[in-house]
Structure 1
């Protein structure tokens, strides 16, 4: 018990008998600390507010049905509710382990629901009738999961059954309260157990099907796990941080939407309603908005054969890979024998799904820093999570890369850390943590590949530190002179400056000399 809690109890004890209840007593029985405390007494919340305000405390009354007087200080909170009879108060509490009362003066315990007995037996049981407890407050279903995992408790069968039966009641609960409980669950030391428990109880199926449908989704030859089990492995590899746990949980959520199998499609290429069509299949690109225009426009009206990937969930769509030389002998779609399993553009699909999920919850309230900005960073992190694997594929495959290693490192760091206004060093930290979690959750790697991974990992950190330091030391004097000579002003000046900054960091050339500016200006003029 800290000094703040002692002061509140001492002031109120002058007017009524006080009992400590809930997590503070439970944690004391378990030998754990508790920064917050719940009290019950015979005073109304308004009376508590009047008494404590006279003593200089800040008190707020919260809730309509069961009003609570809440007293806050930095790092600690005390909630006070009115109770004429402790046994009746215990009946309406969530779980027996949270219905143990203690007199703060004598240390006497009052345990009408036998919560200590359940704690010793490691059982989590609802107070009274479980169906009534969950109807009163459906959020208790999420609290049940949190307590069971946090304290390694077995859930009483009747409590579990009623929680499952009342899961739909969560739809009428505020998203702020639901998010608060999920945020606490996702940062548990054994959060994976909680995620799986939420799966068994049906929470993901009912409220986040984006995750539930990953179960059983077969991957390619590079993975021994389905997408759900791979996601659990990545989630397990992330630290106890809400931001990174969400990244791990949703990083591959888009794979359901883009799961595909290799196929050949033959027929006469048509173009209608801004879509390329081949034997009734809509052909879509995966490498930028102009890919199909460049590859297919000149072939409209001709008989062609393409190698593509037909989407599992949207079988009328085929993702384009390449045109196969020669006129096709037969028209239609044929799956490639032993063809590849693809998840092309799954990173972008995962980012879109995550953006939608974040609108349904209020996780930004629990992020460090500016929550909404962190939401955008989280979406960007998921969207870019495959970049290191793709950029350094030649190294992992033992092939000769087309471009120098150092240049690719610097370009990736800049892409990850620069947000258009600031260089966010934290972004590379988060990116690397997620990449490592994903890498370790994939196929078994050779010792050589692991050494390559560690080399790239270290180089990305070193270059990020270099860019952070040298970005602030760029001398723009010669740039201004050069830009003035070229007659640049307004938005064109800003665009040129952005490009110069980008190229200086990517090429790791902090000196903006005339030759460098001339080279970047030529690129700028040809954008």
Structure 2
């Protein structure tokens, strides 16, 4: 077997080689694994027998990049590369190369090869059998103590198996089940990063089910513990936790056209029926909500948490009917707590919390037929950038409610509802109505000071304009006067 770097990376390494000519450098870890698998590579993972602080600045200067020290024995060179920033991670080799590989986590990442443009199979140092595990599509621990050395590897093993479509070998799965509690010893930021990478894959639902089987899901998200086995009304095919996991699996299928789906006709019907809005949804899904945080990952997290509060809000009436009144609001609070604990940004936290709180709105606003323009305006205004995510969650929620008992007629009607809401929300008068009056206009015309009342008046006027009740500046000011009079004459004067 002969290996060659792909052309873009080959050009980068050709520039790098003279800068490390006097120092033996080795490609290791995920870079070598992905090279062997023929996967895209944009970053390099290198080990060197000298501290990165001695060589990193020289490499950065030679490649017109920037050196960033990460730890005493770690550094990173960030360089512009094919329209984005590429990373060259540098690790100080303080033992022999073989000893270093024997202290890594999984065999498929415990191989090394000299930094070069091409190699033979004999050039690969593979002390743990990683090549054979690659051939068998297996994720296997290097040593029994690997999880104790760094418990984040518990999640990383799941993530690798999911990203690569590999399987955990039996001993590794059993070790995760034994040691899942160690995950609580890791930094929440590291937990977040691994969870996001799992959710960003096309097999997130499958990964979460595996995590649940091995005890890892409840350790990472103990808020989901009460959902296991919690009963639902008869129309639901699964219990609460089963429903949440199925929701993520259906989101996998809906959001990734190439992922196998038991009922392929359901997905085909979705994208065919959506028509023009489909292109806008695809662009929306491809956006990132922060460095290495794709929107589709957060949508799946919203799907996983949307009914998290059902066990805490469950009641049974005198006719034996189970209800979960207010579970969406309580769930949004729980979601915010989880997002805060895992150190997500404010924007990311709000996005998921809005998804949870609003997940019933598409159905609630269509109980009497197609939703009104006012209801659709309020939906998009209230949900903001999460609006389309809520609609996608609504579709997956429907499928995860009925399970294999899905009715194609009801499914098509649900898709048509989503299509109608998107198209109506895109109409200029709803999406971006021209401003008829400003806050200054309201204060000057009504003689009132700046404050909450002005904001309330502007919101009501904008809504009336969006639904066609107000069309001119004069009509807007007339409505503003009526609103102000009603508010100021109210006993409390509240808005």
The verdict on a shared fold, with TM-score over 0.5 as the criterion, is yes
- Quote the RMSD (CA, aligned, Å): 2.6
Q: Which runs of 5 or more residues in structure 2 are unaligned? A: 257-295, 488-495
Decide whether aligned partners of structure 1 residues 12 and 93 sit closer, same or farther in structure 2, where only a CA change above 3 A counts: farther
Say whether the 8 Å CA contact 2:177–2:215 is kept in structure 1. yes
CA distance in 2, matches of 1:89, 1:244: 39
Do residues 410 (structure 1) and 410 (structure 2) align? no
Shift of 1:97: 0.6
Deviations 1:395-417 (A, max 9, x none): 3xxxxxxxxx4xx4323333333
Do residues 75 (structure 1) and 130 (structure 2) align? no
CA distance in 2, matches of 1:195, 1:454: 26
Do residues 124 (structure 1) and 139 (structure 2) align? yes
Do residues 9 (structure 1) and 22 (structure 2) align? no
Quote the residue 2:98 is aligned against. Answer: 87
Shift of 1:3: 5.7
Say whether the 8 Å CA contact 2:206–2:249 is kept in structure 1. no
Structure with more helix by fraction: 2
Deviations 1:54-91 (A, max 9, x none): 53431122235xx2121112332111223252211111
Quote the residue 2:485 is aligned against. Answer: 525
State the secondary structure of the residue aligned to 1:102.
strand
Shift of 1:120: 1.3
The match for 1:427 among 386, 389, 392 is: 386
Say whether the 8 Å CA contact 1:470–1:510 is kept in structure 2. no
State the secondary structure of the residue aligned to 1:9.
helix
Do residues 459 (structure 1) and 402 (structure 2) align? no
Structure with more strand by fraction: 1
Quote the residue 2:67 is aligned against. Answer: 59
The structure with more radius of gyration: 1
CA distance in 1, matches of 2:185, 2:360: 38
The match for 1:226 among 234, 239, 243 is: 239
Decide whether aligned partners of structure 1 residues 153 and 452 sit closer, same or farther in structure 2, where only a CA change above 3 A counts: closer
Deviations 1:334-391 (A, max 9, x none): xx3xx21111111111111101111110233xxxxxxx12321321221011012112
Larger CA deviation: 21-30 vs 3-12: 3-12
Shift of 1:249: 0.4
The match for 2:202 among 189, 197, 200 is: 189
CA distance in 2, matches of 1:427, 1:409: 20
Q: TM-score, normalised by structure 2?
A: 0.79
Say whether the 8 Å CA contact 1:409–1:460 is kept in structure 2. no
Quote the residue 1:40 is aligned against. Answer: 47
Shift of 1:8: 6.1
State the secondary structure of the residue aligned to 2:368.
helix
CA distance in 2, matches of 1:261, 1:98: 52
Quote the residue 1:495 is aligned against. Answer: 456
Quote the residue 2:287 is aligned against. Answer: none
Do residues 138 (structure 1) and 151 (structure 2) align? yes
The match for 2:111 among 96, 100, 107 is: 100
CA distance in 1, matches of 2:50, 2:56: 10
Say whether the 8 Å CA contact 2:377–2:430 is kept in structure 1. no
State the secondary structure of the residue aligned to 1:211.
helix
Equivalent residue runs for 1:367-386 within 5 Å:
372-386=346-360
Say whether the 8 Å CA contact 1:428–1:464 is kept in structure 2. no
Q: Which runs of 5 or more residues in structure 1 are unaligned? A: 264-335, 365-371, 396-404
Equivalent residue runs for 1:163-242 within 5 Å:
163-238=176-251, 239=255, 241-242=296-297
Quote the residue 1:440 is aligned against. Answer: 399
CA distance in 2, matches of 1:461, 1:513: 28
Decide whether aligned partners of structure 1 residues 8 and 262 sit closer, same or farther in structure 2, where only a CA change above 3 A counts: farther
CA distance in 2, matches of 1:158, 1:63: 32
Shift of 1:179: 1.0
Say whether the 8 Å CA contact 2:26–2:114 is kept in structure 1. yes
How many residue pairs are counted as aligned between the two chains?
A: 425
Do residues 259 (structure 1) and 265 (structure 2) align? no
The match for 1:341 among 322, 326, 331 is: 322
